[in-house]
Amino acid sequence: MGKKRESARWDRLTLEEIGAATQEGAIVILPVGATEQHGPHLATGTDSFFAEAVSVAAAEQTGDLVLPTLPYGCSLGHTAHWPGTISLDPETMSKVVIEVGRWVHASGFHKLVIVNGHATNGPPCQSAILKLRHELPEMRMRFVSIFDITPEVDGEYTKDASDWHANEAEASLMLHLDESQIRQDRIVDEEDRTIGRVFQYAVPVVSRSGAVGAPSGGTAEGGASLFKLQTEALAKLLVTARAEQDPQL
């Protein structure tokens, strides 16, 4: 565990406090989310909100730092069928993550963990890691998603739909974390229509409402349990990552 500080949030610390964190070997966390339609019941910032909440809760335990959340992701699959989605192209998102990583390194940090809240952010973020690893050989980076950080967490997300979106797990988390961001009278359940199919489909091809799964089953108690699992898993990963040394050949 690292030293507890005034705040886990990078943008609430001074240059001296951030400089001190480099000397302590603190890990920098970049939450990445999305601004996209989440059915008629969840706010468009759901993915960003969850990525940030898990990141801050874990970093407060471990003494690590959380960068301002990247609120736009690669959400092209939602298309313009419904209002609310603001998507970056994969190349744009990758470039943003690369440039953030360069500046994290310039501040003296050598370990960066990207904490993701949106499924299709994976390819651009992983691409950015490949580029940064080549450009900054001493940087150590990891991409992890809050929805599959452990098999147990993954099971909670996929129990009502394999290709889920705005489902029971997300409804439960929001009921636990901020009930004002969910419209419970507008909840719609939809089956997962991708089961057994070979190809991937844009969301309007598989959902009438924009949601997939059974958000009607969401509860604040379920959300509290899930959030605890996510936070504990990320905190464990951070502690392990901070102690990790390069392989000795």
* CATH code for position 28: 3.40.50.10310
Is residue 214, in this structure, part of any structural domain at all? Answer: yes
In angstroms, the Cα distances linking 170 to 68, 146, 245 are: 22, 11, 36
Is residue 1, in this structure, part of any structural domain at all? Answer: no
Report pLDDT digits (tens) over 26-71: 999 999 999 999 999 999 999 999 999 999 999 999 999 999 999 9
Is residue 4, in this structure, part of any structural domain at all? Answer: no
Is residue 3, in this structure, part of any structural domain at all? Answer: no
Q: Which domain holds residue 53?
A: 10-243
Tell me the pairing of strands 111-116 and 28-32: parallel
pLDDT, mean of residues 230-238: 98
pLDDT, mean of residues 85-91: 98
Is residue 248, in this structure, part of any structural domain at all? Answer: no
On the question of pLDDT at 237 being above 70, the answer is yes
d(CA 23, CA 16): 11
pLDDT, mean of residues 200-215: 97
Is residue 95, in this structure, part of any structural domain at all? Answer: yes
On the question of pLDDT at 5 being above 90, the answer is no
Number of domain units in the chain? 1
As a three-state string, the secondary structure of the chain is CCCCCCCCEHHHCCHHHHHHHHHCCCCEEEEECCECCECECECCCHHHHHHHHHHHHHHHHHCCEECCCECCECCHHHCCCCCCCEECCHHHHHHHHHHHHHHHHHCCCCEEEEEECCHHHHHHHHHHHHHHHHHCCCCEEEEEECCCCCHHHHHHHHCCCCCCECCHHHHHHHHHHCHHHECHHHCCCECCCCCCCCCCCCHHHHCCCCCEECHHHCCHHHHHHHHHHHHHHHHHHHHHHHHCCCCCC
Q: What is the mean pLDDT of the chain?
A: 97
Is residue 231, in this structure, part of any structural domain at all? Answer: yes
Structure tokens at 5: 């500080």
- Percentage of the chain beyond pLDDT 70 is 98
The dihedrals phi and psi of 89, each to the nearest 5 degrees, come to: -70, 155
Report pLDDT digits (tens) over 172-198: 999 999 999 999 999 999 999 999 999
- Percentage of the chain beyond pLDDT 90 is 97
Is residue 118, in this structure, part of any structural domain at all? Answer: yes
For residue 3, name the pLDDT band (cuts at 50, 70, 90).
low
d(CA 217, CA 213): 9
pLDDT, mean of residues 245-249: 95
Q: What pLDDT does 131 receive?
A: 98
Q: What pLDDT does 209 receive?
A: 97
